[in-house]
Structure 1
Amino acid sequence: MSDQRGNRDAGDGRDRMDGQAGAGSGGADPNDPFAGYVFDEDFVRGATTTEGSARARMLARKWANEPPQHTPWRADGPSRPPRRRRWRTVLVTVAVLALVAFAAAPDRVFGWFGTSNTAASDDPMVQPPVSGVATSVPSAGDRRAIDPDLPTRKNPFAGSPALNYADNEAGLTLPEVKTVPGYSAAEVTEALDLTRRLLIAGNLDRDVLAGGRPAGYLALLDPADGEVARIEEALRTNRWEPDNPVSWVTRFDPKEIEPVGRVVKVNGITSYDVDGEGTLTVHADYSFVYPVAKAGSGADATVTRSVVRRVLETKVYRGPRYQATVRGRIALGSVGFDAANSSCTRLDGFVRPEFPEDSTEPTGAPKTVDPYDRSKPIEDGVPGECQRVSRV
């Protein structure tokens, strides 16, 4: 794995038409940095930055000297602007945090990290800065004390802040819908719903989690989106490079791993805005906590967890300036992920949790990071550096 990082345009052929500069729809002043935004009182009071969702890392060893060449996609009609993927291009690799082991031996919990030295927080409501017209997070309800005991099949979230996260789809709450320049409330509602369904199909579908084909995920993507072909090829090869299926969806190898129970804990935030090109953009940043055990293990088997954080942007393009997104579908903008507790040495198309007896120690003096710390966005780091985590 490379220690280098790189960024490049996705290059799927959706180039800006006739060299014209993009502008917001609805007559917005292109020089106004806040054009296209509608801020409610809660957002204004709680916002600390207007920086977009997180940047991310990617593995770019092959691209350092041999930048990948794309095959342009041709459409009948106006093309779309280039995707501004600062933290995901062809490879969504970002910070692959692969932890190895569990809290039974915190000094032996390690992983592939390239990010986050922020202070740990047990508060599930702590969120990264986001931009958009509105945000929403699931209510914790009656807060419960974090159980210091180790996880079991009966209580798989013991000792984890995820104990206070919402269950499954209930954690994917959506913000209040408002009209934005160029888009009706109904169009905003559809974009939010499609993004939520995409997160469910890629991170909560039981068949997909068991290594199955993410048919529901693919069915939600705009056929004109070049990502569909990339995902299909990544699923076919099931390799880490050049494209890794886990970049888009969460998958475990069913021959080695089985879920514990039917609950995945979910915590995160969604927002939306109209970007400088006049395109409706939905920003989503969610953490999914998966309790797992070894496949075929008994009732007293060791239980551990994997924590996958996904950050993505989806887009709805409008004609006639750009080729419009197909109704009922969504286009992918930027995508990033962190996967906590996935082997430092077995890199392929699965999240590969490790257990205390299987742990692999990194060399040197690795930093300690906390996969539950959501106070900062995913940042640039050094993919390929195996680091210690404080908990999973």
Structure 2
Amino acid sequence: MGKDEGSISDDEWERFLRDAEAGTPGAPEEPSARARMVARRLREETGRPEPWRGHRPARRRGGKIWYVVGLLAAAGLLAVALDPGRLTGWFGGDGGGESTPLAAESERPDQPPPTEGAAQQPTLEQPFRGSPAARWGDGTAGIGLPAARATGWMSKAQVAQALDRTRDFLAASSLNPAVLRGERPGKGIALINPHQQDVRDYLATAFRAPSREDDPLLLFSRFDKAQVRLVGDVVKTRGRITYREGERGAVEVTTDVTYVYPVAPAAAGSDEVTRTIVRREVVLSWDDPAKVVTEPGTFSLVSYKVDTTNGGCDTFTGYLTPKFEAERAGADAGDGPETDPYDRSTSMDARMQEAGDAGCGTASRL
């Protein structure tokens, strides 16, 4: 496979791993202090004793799909903004949708999307057939941006730039075609502060030896191209970006986006299509450099949570691992509540609380 703009060279990657293992002196102490604070706050708000959720193999019984909830809270991580560029044109096409596209989401809906047509199965020509995502936006077009206004230490123009760069980060981590094919998320990693040793350790381990504690899927969407191929060049999305004044006058940006990935087995000649659905909530802080150690044009990562349907459960391969009909048939019932993965009327915190300590729950549809 040719070199893609979302990948980095083997030499660069190996250098990153060596530096992460050796440690980098002079890392700011402020982010670590904030990390402890935010992790504690998230535990208090959600009532959950641990910031991590487990995984089990995704499967279906009686027409129901299994989903897994993952959560990682990390705070105050400085990012190095090596201009990710404009990524909004990666995906085009209508994805087989026959209805009028929905307007961008500007606030949390008060109910799940309708279920009409849910019995229709996806096809290679219409991978979003039977799914509410058929009316969603393509790629970043489905991620609503609010109007910019002067907030905290930032002017209106600076806030507008921060919002654009935030959406770029979502594209680099969850929409980049090379990353979706399983390549290294070079652009996403480049946004993370190289002096943040705990994050460097996490990233170095996550892509070399993924585990429950060090899972790259908490931030990045990746499929093993030897097992799965993406159907078409469209990823459907629905979500929004909001912001407010945060600590020390920072501009705190919250992103809540659902991504729908149509996939088929990698084997030649296979025409079965299924979908993997990932909802991520990522919170970023654009800090005032006069009050927090940072670099111009960079953001701090406050927290991120992920809720995955048909992407794997208790499987820590570093890839989303969707199950197809033959693998789902006859699977045992799960121990979690039934959830509609397209339902965005429930907050991520509420979704986490509903999941409780169950490793897997049932999803009402794909």
TM normalised by structure 2 equals: 0.71
Note closer, same or farther for the CA distance 1:188–1:231 as it changes in structure 2 (3 Å cut): farther
CA deviations over 1:273-329 (Å, ceiling 9, x no partner): 11243221100000000000000342x621000000010111122233321x21232
Q: Where do 1:43-58 residues align within 5 Å?
A: none
- 1:294-309 map, 5 Å: 294-298=265-269, 301-309=271-279
2:221 partner SS: coil
1:332-365, Cα deviation, whole Å (9 max, x unpaired):
1101101110233533311100011102623466
Q: What are the equivalent positions in structure 2 for 1:255-274 lying under 5 Å apart?
A: 255-274=226-245
Q: 1:114 to 1:337 in 2, by over 3 A?
A: closer
Deviation by residue 1:130-173 (Cα, 9 ceiling, x = unmatched): xxxxx579xxxxx9x74742000000001101011000121123
What SS class does the counterpart of residue 109 from structure 1 fall into? Answer: strand
Q: Which residue of 2 aligns with 1:82?
A: 34
> What CA distance in whole angstroms lies between the structure 2 residues aligned with 1:315 and 1:210?
29
Secondary structure of the corresponding residue to residue 319 of structure 2: coil
Is 1:339 aligned to residue 339 of structure 2? Answer: no
CA distance in 2, matches of 1:185, 1:97: 45
In the alignment, does 2:121 pair up with 1:150? yes
Change in Cα spacing, 1:334 to 1:165, as seen in structure 2 (3 Å) is same
Unaligned residue ranges in structure 1 (runs of 5+): 1-70, 116-122, 128-134, 138-142
Give 1:349's aligned residue. 318
Pairing partner for 1:110 from 58, 66, 72: 66
Amino acid at match of 1:346: T
Aligned pair in 2 of structure 1 residues 98, 307: CA closer, same or farther (>3 Å)?
farther
Partner of 1:313: 283
Q: The residue matched to 1:336 in structure 2 has which SS?
A: strand
SS in 2 for 1:321: coil
Separation in structure 2 between the aligned mates of residue 92 and residue 262 of structure 1, nearest angstrom = 34
Q: Structure 1 residues 365, 73: closer, same or farther in 2, change over 3 A?
A: same
Give the letter aligned to residue 329 of structure 1: T
Q: Does 1:277 align with 2:248?
A: yes
Structure 1 segment 91-106 matched on structure 2, within 5 A: 93-94=52-53, 99-101=58-60
**Measured at CA, do residues 308 and 109 of structure 1 come closer, stay the same or move farther in structure 2, by a change above 3 Å?**
same
**2:357 is the counterpart of 1:391:** no
**TM-aligned CA distance change 1:221 to 1:156, over 3 Å:** same
Distance 1:73 1:87 in 2: 29
> Is there any run of 5+ residues in structure 2 with no aligned partner, and where?
1-22, 72-100, 109-113
Is the partner of 1:156 in helix, strand or coil? coil
Contact in 1 for aligned 2:54/2:313 (Cα 8 Å):
no
Matches within 5 A, 1:38-77: 74-75=26-27
SS in 2 for 1:385: coil
**Superposed, which structure 2 residues align to 1:1-392 within 5 Å?**
74-75=26-27, 79-80=30-31, 82-83=34-35, 84-85=38-39, 86-87=41-42, 93-94=52-53, 99-101=58-60, 107-112=63-68, 135=106, 146=117, 148-226=119-197, 228-298=199-269, 301-323=271-293, 325-359=294-328, 361-363=331-333, 367-378=337-348, 379-380=352-353, 381-392=355-366
Q: What is the RMSD computed on CA atoms of the aligned residues?
A: 3.4
* d(CA) in 1 for partners of 2:134, 2:277: 13
2:235–2:260: 8 Å Cα contact kept in structure 1? yes
- Structure 1 stretch displaced more, 340-349 or 372-381: 340-349
CA contact (8 A) 2:255 2:281 kept: yes
Cα distance change of structure 1 residues 163 and 95 upon mapping to structure 2, 3 Å threshold: farther
Give the Cα separation in 1 of the matches to 2:69 and 2:152. 39
Task: Note the C-alpha offset of 1:368.
Answer: 1.7
- 1:182–1:344 Cα change, 3 Å: closer
Which shows bigger deviation, 194-203 or 311-320? 311-320
Cα deviations by residue, 1:39-66 (Å, 9 ceiling, x for unpaired) = xxxxxxxxxxxxxxxxxxxxxxxxxxxx
% identity of equivalent residues? 29
Answer whether contact 1:290 1:307 (CA < 8 A) is retained.
yes
Call closer, same or farther: CA 1:315–1:327 in 2, change over 3 Å.
same
Note if contact 1:311-1:336 (Cα within 8 Å) is conserved in structure 2. yes
Amino acid at match of 1:361: A
Determine the C-alpha separation between the residues in 2 that align with 1:151 and 1:278.
Answer: 47
Report the TM-score, using the length of structure 1 for normalisation.
0.66
Q: How many residues align?
A: 296
C-alpha separation in 1, matches of 2:258 and 2:124: 21
The residue type equivalent to 1:355 in the other structure is F
Give a deviation string over 1:166-215, Cα, whole Å, max 9, x none.
00121123110000132111221222122111100011111101111100
AA partner of residue 100 (structure 1) = R
CA–CA distance in 2 between the matches of 1:331 and 1:183? 15
Q: Using a 3 Å threshold, how does the CA distance of structure 1 residues 377 and 205 change in structure 2: closer, same or farther?
A: same
Q: Which one has the bigger helix percentage? A: 2
